[in-house]
Amino acid sequence: MATELYDLTVPVFTRGLKALSAILDKAAAHAAETGADPQALLALRLAPDMHPLSKQVQIACDGSKLCVARLSGAEAPVNEDTETTIDELKGRIDATLAFMASVPRDAIDGQEDREVVLKFPGGEWPFKGQAYVVGFAIPNVFFHLSTAYGLLRQAGVPLGKRDFLGNPG
């Protein structure tokens, strides 16, 4: 029976981003309860040369959006990365969810051999669609979701693994 490419992308990223949005709600609630500055949470980094929480959220959204766009040929919405509050980041997530929901299954299923070329400052990374999803897009999105979760755990926000996983299965 195997797994169609749509089922490896839209629902996976949708679940992850919904879980992230709920995690951001818990961060906001924790900040309100403790008097912490929610803006300070968004500036947290694991290392000086890693991205702050706000950017982790933006990249989790972009990784999802661009994967779905690259596979389907749908035009991805442009985001200017101007979000500076938890509410605005949740809006960014909502916009990403809406874009993904707008892409029909039949635009993604069957694209396993589609050429996907990632461009980096140092060169290009050519993939076929399936290898791109399994070897790059999924690990990359979960990396940024995990890092966002870890930053908020380190800041004392009460979260557990179930918050990260969302509602699978």
CB of 43 to a second copy, least distance (A): 15
Q: Which is nearer to a second copy, 40 or 87 (CB)?
A: 40
Minimum CB–partner distance for residue 48 and a second copy (Å): 9
Candidates 7, 37, 81, 106: give the one binding a second copy (CB under 8 A): 7
What letter does residue 103 receive in the DSSP assignment? S
- As a three-state string, the secondary structure of 19-70 is HHHHHHHHHHHHHHHHCCCHHHHHCCCCCCCCCCHHHHHHHHHHHHHHHHHH
Q: Is 8 in the site for a second copy (CB under 8 A)?
A: yes
Residue 116 buriedness (CB in 10 A; 0-12 / 13-18 / 19+): buried
Q: How far is the CB of 111 from a second copy (least distance, A)?
A: 10
Q: Please pick, from the candidates 22, 52, 107, 112, the single residue that binds a second copy as defined by CB under 8 A.
A: 112
